[in-house]
Amino acid sequence: MQKLIGANEEDDEEEIEMDVKEEDNENGQKHISAQMMLGADGVMPSTSHQFQIQQQLQEQVSTPGGGARRSRPLEEKERTKLRERHRRALTARILAGLRKHGNYNLRVRADINDVIAALAREAGWVVLPDGTTFPSRSQGSRPAGDSSAGLTSSSSEMLSQQAPPTSLQGVSSGYCALVEYNACHMKGVFMPTPAPYDLSSSGHSQSSGMVGNGGEQTESLPLIAGSMEVINDKQLGVVNMKCELVDPDGLLKQLRVLKSINVDGVMIDCWWGIVEAHAPQEYNWNGYRKLFQMVHELKLKLQVVMSFHECGGNVGDDVCIPLPHWVAEIGRSNPDIFFTDREGRRNTECLSWGIDKERVLRGRTAVEVYFDFMRSFRVEFNEFFEDGIISMVEVGLGPCGELRYPSCPVKHGWRYPGIGEFQCYDQYMLKSLRKAAEMRGHSFWARGPDNAGSYSSHPHETGFFCDEGDYDGYYGRFFLNWYSQLLINHGDLVLSLAKLAFEGSCIAAKLPGIHWWYKTSSHAAELTAGFYNPCNRDGYIAIAAMLHKHGAALNFACAELQFLEQLEDLQEALANPQGLVWQVLNAAWEACITVVSENAFVCHDRVGYNKILENVKPVNDPDGRHFSSFTYLRLTPLLMERQNFMEFERFVKRMHGEAVLYLQV
């Protein structure tokens, strides 16, 4: 046995099996034939193996009675077992080394695919959950900050130090990158410049009472600049996947630059998949604590997002921050914890609303998991709340942190301006649908629409969303009411717990701006996302009422949507950004909730800044209504160039209500 264990590795690579049997030759005499299987690489065994086989054959031929052993020798079976144990031990040591010394965030039972994906991301490639791999934008040589550039820095936010304590400001959890000056270290940073239809670019929240009357000369409006990003593994950023603060000296310089032009504060995502990565209720806040202390010492304000979603796989996603490993382990045995489409494809961006009250997460419900996370954050950073450093907490309510269904996943084939698909086919959602149908007295309605098309369909191509389609029939109204109410119930439940966890602090929620197909009767893209807003019904009033119930601000990205209508792709999609903006804003203002905004595109010129100011601080609004704060997207090295930085500084002053001369540059 020791001899077999000590065999060289080349011998271990061969897989040899023999099948020895007796056959009658033409003379009726018996002879023994042996069949030998090739190795996994298709190569014949080595000479030494051939000699061993011949020796075994001779021993079998000389066996009294001519009998033949039909199975592999026992020693060879033992050898195979030992070889597999040896390989597994090697794999375990490799994975342990990568986790310990390389900051690779590998699950406990990682396989070779996980290792390859981690190495590919380390090399600057993007690896989607389905295995699709392609070069990251950050490998390009185009200037950072360009919509197609690889180096992306995220949005920045400023909170006015003169603003009342109730002032809120937020940045979409999709924008997680900090200001970066060294492009060569940035590999796969999440969130480049969003397209007009990029769902992850919508809404950031900030709330306060109405400040001033909208007059530019008298009003100081909070402005945010400098949102921080969590970066994968060894990439330069703020907090890495081990929740460690990266490059604190460089970060301090960046924050001082923001402070020098009187920005009010910064914003950071606290990722569930990083903080509670490996085991339930084991939280690691180390990197965030060091960051918050640095912000506090510079006398800046801070906003945080409770990011309960996955980063990766959608428009603009260049990095992957998955859900916690222990949640993924549960999902492997019970995939119904994730949203599911009609074809049975699972979406791991976030957890299904169906398990909000189901104890399937190691004895806890989904909302209990969210509450425990938020409570841990509140306890860990109590002094920052007490000192007023943390001015707002935005609560993630779905994919990209937005209150919506993941109806438009790029990884499942969605392309703009597709209508998306309903996400209600996991067993828990179907259970809820069956219960609702039975209560209505029509148990046969316990199904999703079978004529709603696919992700990239157009409304007129379907029987459900076309003009006078089934969406407006008895069954369609029942289904859409159930589907949208489940979304509202989810937001209501999570925000009620957030209000309890962050008692006395401002909270906010984020909505997307789904404006394509708005000019059609069904508003199909909104329906699949959970907003029951066809042309004959206002689907945002109930959402605004729910936010008002919890005193939450509405985070809605719309500062520039009114100027998009001239774009050809929006015209073809029968989009109406302006109509959507006015509908959502009116619903919010009627409910007396605070609204904040952000720019949807990179802006470095005076014309763009003036458009933002015109929308955020309208001078001629008859009711004196305006946004309570604004989020600037995004602070990049391109913005820090002299010409651009001068324009940005001027914009900050105007946002704060200062009169600025139009100097000729």
pLDDT of res. 468: 93
- CATH class (in words) of the domain with range 239-656: alpha beta
Structure token pair of residue 418: 């597709």
Domain boundaries, the chain: 81-125, 239-656
DSSP-derived secondary structure for 302-319: EEEEEE-S-B-SSTT--S
Residue type, 28: G
Nearest CA among 132, 203, 96 for reference residue 514: 203
Q: 457-463 long-range CB contacts below 8 Å, 24 or more apart?
A: 457/418, 457/419, 458/417, 458/418, 458/419, 458/517, 459/419, 459/517, 459/520, 459/522, 459/524, 460/520, 462/419, 462/524
pLDDT of res. 642: 86
186-218: b (≥16 Cβ within 10 Å) or e: bbbbbbbbbbbbbbbbbbbbbbbeebeebebee
| Contact residues for 253 (Cβ-Cβ < 8 A; gap 6+) | none
Cα–Cα distance for residue pair 660/621, rounded to 1 Å: 22
DSSP-derived secondary structure for 504-526: TS-EEEEE----TTTTSSS-HHH
Q: How many CB atoms lie within 10 A of CB 139?
A: 17
State the helix-helix crossing angle for 74-102 and 112-122, rounded to 10 degrees: 30
Which helix (H) or strand (E) segment is 133 a member of? Answer: strand 133-135
Q: Is 96 helix (H, G, I), strand (E, B) or coil?
A: helix
User: What is the 3-state composition of the chain as percent helix, strand, coil, each rounded to the nearest 5?
Assistant: 40, 10, 50
Active-site residue identified among 402, 421, 526, 560: 402
Q: Are strands 553-556 and 507-511 parallel, antiparallel or unpaired?
A: parallel
Cα–Cα distance for residue pair 340/369, rounded to 1 Å: 21
| Angstrom distances, CA of residue 131 to CA of 117, 127, 128, 441 | 8, 6, 5, 45
Cα–Cα distance for residue pair 4/287, rounded to 1 Å: 50
In the annotation, is 402 catalytic? yes
> For the chain (length 665 residues), average pLDDT per consecutive 10?
41 40 45 40 47 50 47 79 84 75 63 78 66 56 30 32 32 30 25 31 30 37 53 52 88 87 88 95 96 93 93 65 95 97 96 97 97 97 94 93 95 93 97 97 96 96 96 97 98 97 93 94 98 96 97 82 60 89 93 84 85 84 83 75 88 85 51
| Angstrom distances, CA of residue 105 to CA of 96, 100, 231, 340 | 10, 9, 12, 26
Tell me how far apart the terminal alpha carbons of the chain are, to the nearest angstrom: 85
pLDDT of res. 116: 82
Active-site residue identified among 122, 421, 598, 647: 598
The alpha carbon of residue 529 and the mean position of all alpha carbons in its chain are separated, in whole angstroms, by 16
Q: Is 160 helix (H, G, I), strand (E, B) or coil?
A: coil
- Measured CA angle at 33 (ends 32, 37), to 5 deg: 145
Cα–Cα distance for residue pair 418/410, rounded to 1 Å: 10
584 in Cβ contact with 556 (< 8 Å)? yes
Q: Is 183 helix (H, G, I), strand (E, B) or coil?
A: helix
pLDDT in tens, 566-614: 566 778 899 998 899 899 999 999 999 998 877 777 788 888 888 888 8
Cα–Cα distance for residue pair 533/543, rounded to 1 Å: 11
In the annotation, is 658 catalytic? no
Cα–Cα distance for residue pair 569/561, rounded to 1 Å: 14
Cα–Cα distance for residue pair 497/490, rounded to 1 Å: 11
Residue 307: φ, ψ to 5°:
-95, 95
Cα–Cα distance for residue pair 52/8, rounded to 1 Å: 16
The alpha carbon of residue 390 and the mean position of all alpha carbons in its chain are separated, in whole angstroms, by 23
